[in-house]
Amino acid sequence: MNKPLRRVAVFCGLLVLALLVRVNYVQFVQADQLSNDPHNRRVAINQYAQPRGNIIVDGKAVTGHTETNGSDFKYKRTYTDGPMWAPVTGHASQAYGTTMLEGVEDKFLTGNDDRLFFNRTIDLLTGKQRQGGNVVTTLNAKAQKAAFDGLGDKKGAVVALDPRTGAVLAMASTPSYDPSGIAGYSTTDEKNWIALDKKNDPNDPSLNRALRQTYPPGSTFKLVTAAAALETGKVTDINAKTTSPDPYTLPGTTTPLVNEGHLQCKDASLRNALRQSCNTVFGNLGANIGLKGMVDEAEKFGFNKEQTIPVRADASNFDTKMSPDQVALSSIGQFDTAATPLQMAMVASAIANNGVLMQPYEVDKLVAPNLSTISQTDPQKMSQPLSPENAQKLQSMMETVVTDGTGKNAKIPGVRVGGKTGTAQHGVNNDKAPYAWFVSYAMTDQGSPVAVAVVVEDGSANRDDISGGGLAAPIAKSVMEAVLNK
Amino acid sequence: MSASNTTTITSIGAPNRRNTELALLVFAVAIPVFAYANVGLAKNGSVPAGLLGYGVGLGLLATVTHLLVRKFAPYADPLMLPIATLLNGLGLVLIWRLDQEPSLGSAMAPKQLMWSTFGVVLFVLVLVLVKDHRILQRYTYISMVLALVLLVLPVFFPPVYGARIWISLPGIGSLQPGEFAKIIITVFFAGYLMVKRDALALASRRVMGLYLPRGRDLGPILVIWAVSLLILVFETDLGTSLLFFGLFVIMLYVATERTSWIVFGLLLSSAGAVAVASSEPHVKIRVQDWLHPLALQNGAVTETAQARYAFGSGGLFGSGLGQGYSRLIHGIAPKSDYILATVGEELGLAGLMAVLLLYGLLIERGIRTALAARDPFGKLLAIGLSGGFALQVFVVAGGVTGLIPLTGMTMPFMAQGGSSVIANWALVAILLRISDTARRPAPSPAPSPDAEATQVVRNQ
């Protein structure tokens, strides 16, 4: 009877072996995946087991924490001026996860980042509670307030950059929400969360329009077309007459392209065309530059690529396969062309920075709980869409727009301000309220300290090109003034 | 050739290893006591108030048991008692640890301690009363009836969590008669097969290359098996049916030495498994959970997923006792079926492997006892008990870790549940009794001439 007994013994041995292999698989091979699974509540519990580090603007924290009782989570996030800073901070919610900087820098804020290993070990040895690191942003509190207050009840977004470095100075999006209201795990938080849902609030307040919404850029895109015209050599003298018919028939079609209002656009010089925002001139220019030239220039400005600042920004779109008439339409910001407010701020900042586009970023440095700097962002050149000479020509044209064109509302006494208005129509037969755009920069002796893009979604019934100047330009002006400290 | 290995009898005065057992028992008591202190320090920052009582109680229980083994089964295997004590002690600590989580309901540890004590008492009673395991052979058919009655009983009680495996006795609580039936039916199989094994093995017809026994030999056992299986399917207790089935196949195979039984058994079991899995909604859900362990159910994380997260979060070394979150496995059974998840999370892969190896070692000692036993009844009984134990461990641990679909069974000794712990102490007592007989120096009870003759023939 012993032979089968031995075989049964081997069989039982195999059963135990199978179990051992299995637990090794689950607890070793799969361990990382399982322990970091978003549905694994331990992830959230650990996230909130110690006070989160703060997000800091101008030396002051815009975030905080309180202790909570009666749940798995020990600490809850709080926000100062939550709605104003929401597009920057995002939310860190015990129930609903993290977004924006709270999400991207989550590991650092919770103290779980590998770079904080040394601090953690010291805390462990000295018996101190683990602390999260702080995220110091590049934002400018005054500019942010100007942007947020300027938008007010309107629906829209503002992005301001420092053209010299790419640092984000302001990033506002309205209507906004208070992330404090959804930071916890209570029924109130749940109610607030449900109310924020796009299905329940068509205004979608939790959407960060500055980074995650693309709009047809309308006439503001003419800056890119003008840059392409200068760079490809189609136009060398911005004050010389161009050969531009008015009305202009889109190539390969019988559709005429017209200008808004009664403008003197026939054969207008580039400067004059930009000042009046002539569709015919820029449509014709775009078609002459051709698809490749337009795509190359647009992509040098950052189109067709997601930006990481380090929060992800949606890619702006300039189609890479189009017929000549579509190229013409795209060159005046219509057809499929779409841009985030960040993208248009990048366009203005590249022009203002003498043609050099700096990589936009909103995190200046990461600071450990013991206040030592763990990492510092160095400004980086992203591309050069324009030569310095051409950039200066374009600056001069943009300044004419403000002094003598559609952007007069952005004038700041004693400061060189360049800008461009835009009104993008959308909807079937343009029946929806247009988007009012304004992109601009201010120039000082030390170069340009600020470039702004403003978009206001429900620009009143006024459909002419002025609405960009009327609605958006004053907001841009106050943001620039805040940065210039006027 | 293998005859020398099958028995540990060497010469007169062979060491009985009782001192080894005593030394191991010291560890088996010390480890849970330390674990207990560890939980208290982790959860409340202080050594639990009951530590001394618990330590002394466990120590006393172990000492008394050890002394009785010394007296009544002096040659018994020295490893089984310490392993069972350690597993039971750790189980108690883990249940007490889970009692510290208010979300998991009322405290279970004191009750479990009481049941464990009953278990040890039964262990002692078996050792004292059953002087020789062959006495059990007399009760072959009584065992059969008793096992069937125990299996049928729960049908008359309302189902608990989808399975009719409980009987509730007012004032005492609920019992799982299946746990006891497991041992009793093994006694029946062993007794019956010992008598019929030659008929089953030799008087067979060859069908398609397989030797099939005559109906009259096979009939009764097949009927018992089918009835027990039907009852279990009706009670929707898949784990126990699987256990009984495996037990049955293993014992038939050992008794007849016919490989055809394995084929036959595997065919029957896969047919049964498919039939049950496709008809029983209760089982269907389990299979779905197994295939998609992390899938959400109505937007919520399932128990299966929670258990998996517990294992995964434990990693190599675990969070430390009392510092994990296995309470997140809400549902019905964090203290019973899912207790291994707590082991995995708080003691880590290292701790879980150690626990599984303890079970493996216990199984190995049981099979060694079967090999060493000198009578076929003892061999069959020992292999039945240890094989069944192995299957149970595999089915539970495999189910909780996701190797196989989850079935409602409890981890022997560790999991909360009175019937289980009592029955398993009795199981260990029988195995100790068999090993005592097997390892006893030669002359004492004259070995059955039948057994000797059989062995010589078989081992040529």
* pLDDT at A460 (0 to 100): 56
* pLDDT at B175 (0 to 100): 80
CA distance A96 to chain B (A): 14
* pLDDT at B406 (0 to 100): 83
| Residue A459 pLDDT greater than 70, yes or no | no
SS3 B137: helix
CB contact (8 A) between residue B353 and residue A33: no
Summarize pLDDT for A378-389 with one digit per residue, the tens: 999 999 999 999
| Residue B63 pLDDT greater than 80, yes or no | yes
How, if at all, do strands A435-444 and A416-424 pair?
antiparallel
At A367, give phi and psi (nearest 5°): -120, 130
| Residue A354 pLDDT greater than 50, yes or no | yes
What residues does A215 pair with on adjacent strands? A339
CB contact (8 A) between residue B348 and residue A27: yes
CB contact (8 A) between residue A34 and residue B301: no
Concatenated DSSP letters of B154-167 = GGGS--BTTB---E
Burial B58-94 (b: 16+ CB within 10 A, else e): beebbeebbebbeebbebbbbbbbbbbbbbbbbbbbb
pLDDT category of residue B446 using cuts at 50, 70 and 90: low
* pLDDT at A485 (0 to 100): 82
| Residue B226 pLDDT greater than 80, yes or no | no
Nearest-by-CA chain B residue for A44: B325
Q: In a mutagenesis test of the B interface, which of A10, A21, A23 is the best target, namely the one with the most B β-carbons within 10 Å?
A: A23
d(CA A96, CA B53): 46
At A278, give phi and psi (nearest 5°): -80, 115
* pLDDT at B167 (0 to 100): 77
Q: The domain that contains A287 carries what CATH number?
A: 3.40.710.10
CA dihedral B447, B448, B453, B458 (to 10 degrees): -80
At B264, give phi and psi (nearest 5°): -55, -45
pTM for the model stands at: 0.71
Residue B251's closest CA among B290, B196, B209?
A: B196
Of B254, B296, B357, which has the smallest distance from its Cβ to A8's Cβ?
B254
CB contact (8 A) between residue A40 and residue B312: yes
Q: What is the mean pLDDT of residues B137-164?
A: 82
* pLDDT at B410 (0 to 100): 84
Burial A172-211 (b: 16+ CB within 10 A, else e): bbbbbbbbbbbbbbbeebeebbeebeeeeeeebbbbbbbb
Structure tokens at A321: 């396969």
pLDDT category of residue B92 using cuts at 50, 70 and 90: very high
B361 touches chain A (CB under 8 A): no
CA distance B299 to chain A (A): 10
Domain that holds residue A422: 213-366+377-484
d(CA A432, CA A202): 15
CB contact (8 A) between residue A30 and residue B360: no
Q: What is the mean pLDDT of residues A235-253?
A: 83
CB contact (8 A) between residue A12 and residue B6: no
Summarize pLDDT for B323-349 with one digit per residue, the tens: 888 888 876 667 778 899 999 999 999
B200 touches chain A (CB under 8 A): no
Nearest-by-CA chain A residue for B328: A41
Distances (CA, A) of B401 to A31, B306, B309: 12, 11, 10
| Residue B4 pLDDT greater than 60, yes or no | no
CA distance A112 to chain B (A): 15
| Residue B303 pLDDT greater than 90, yes or no | no
Burial class (CB within 10 angstroms; exposed 0-12, middle 13-18, buried 19+) of A296: middle
Burial class (CB within 10 angstroms; exposed 0-12, middle 13-18, buried 19+) of B340: buried
Outline where B373-417 has alpha helix (H).
Answer: 376-401
Which among A89-93, A468-472, B83-87, B232-236 has the top mean pLDDT? B83-87
* pLDDT at A466 (0 to 100): 47
CB contact (8 A) between residue B254 and residue A39: no
Of A16, A32, A42, which has the smallest distance from its Cβ to B325's Cβ?
A42
Instruction: Determine what percent of chain A is predicted with pLDDT higher than 90.
Output: 39
3-state helix, strand, coil in chain A (%, to 5): 40, 20, 40
Q: In a mutagenesis test of the A interface, which of B254, B316, B357, B364 is the best target, namely the one with the most A β-carbons within 10 Å?
A: B254
SS3 B321: coil
For the beta carbon of residue B403, count every other beta carbon within 10 angstroms: 19
* pLDDT at B209 (0 to 100): 67
CA distance B66 to chain A (A): 28
Question: What's the complex ipTM?
Answer: 0.89
Instruction: Determine what percent of chain B is predicted with pLDDT higher than 90.
Output: 36
Contacts of B131 (CB under 8 A, 6+ apart): none
Is A219 one of the annotated active-site residues of the chain? Answer: yes
Q: Would A381 be classed as within a structural domain?
A: yes
Q: What is the largest CA-CA distance in chain B?
A: 70
Average pLDDT, chain A: 87
Q: Given the residues A219, A331, A440, A478, select the one marked as catalytic.
A: A219
CA distance B195 to chain A (A): 14
* pLDDT at B161 (0 to 100): 65
* pLDDT at B370 (0 to 100): 94
Contacts of A439 (CB under 8 A, 6+ apart): A220, A223, A344, A345, A347, A348, A419, A420, A422, A451, A452, A453, A454, A476
Amino acid (one-letter) located at B121: V
Q: How many domains does chain A have?
A: 1
Concatenated DSSP letters of B102-120 = GGG-S--HHHHHHHHHHHH
d(CA B79, CA B17): 9
B316 touches chain A (CB under 8 A): yes
d(CA B253, CA B247): 10
B231 touches chain A (CB under 8 A): no
pLDDT category of residue B453 using cuts at 50, 70 and 90: low
d(CA B245, CA B226): 9
Concatenated DSSP letters of B220-263 = HHHHHHHHHHHHHHHTT-HHHHHHHHHHHHHHHHHHH--THHHH
Contacts of B203 (CB under 8 A, 6+ apart): B213, B214, B217
Q: What is the mean pLDDT of residues A216-235?
A: 90
* pLDDT at B228 (0 to 100): 66
Summarize pLDDT for A16-37 with one digit per residue, the tens: 999 999 999 999 999 999 988 8
* pLDDT at B435 (0 to 100): 93
Chain B neighbors of A127, CB-CB under 8 A: none
B403 touches chain A (CB under 8 A): yes
Residue B308's closest CA among A90, A35, A153?
A: A35
Q: Would A291 be classed as within a structural domain?
A: yes
* pLDDT at A169 (0 to 100): 94
Average pLDDT, chain B: 83
CA dihedral A379, A381, A386, A389 (to 10 degrees): 60
At B87, give phi and psi (nearest 5°): -65, -45
Q: Would A266 be classed as within a structural domain?
A: yes
Summarize pLDDT for A122-163 with one digit per residue, the tens: 877 887 777 889 999 999 999 999 999 988 888 899 999 999
pLDDT category of residue A360 using cuts at 50, 70 and 90: very high
Distances (CA, A) of A191 to A196, A285, B358, B436: 9, 53, 51, 69
Q: What is the mean pLDDT of residues A475-484?
A: 90
Least confident of A187-196, A359-368, B159-168: B159-168
B451 touches chain A (CB under 8 A): no
Residue B240's closest CA among B165, B340, B142?
A: B165
* pLDDT at B345 (0 to 100): 93
Chain A neighbors of B391, CB-CB under 8 A: 15
Q: What is the mean pLDDT of residues A418-439?
A: 77
Q: Would A454 be classed as within a structural domain?
A: yes
CB contact (8 A) between residue A27 and residue B250: no
pLDDT category of residue A118 using cuts at 50, 70 and 90: confident
Q: Report which of residues A71 and B171 the model is more confident about.
A: A71
For the beta carbon of residue B214, count every other beta carbon within 10 angstroms: 12
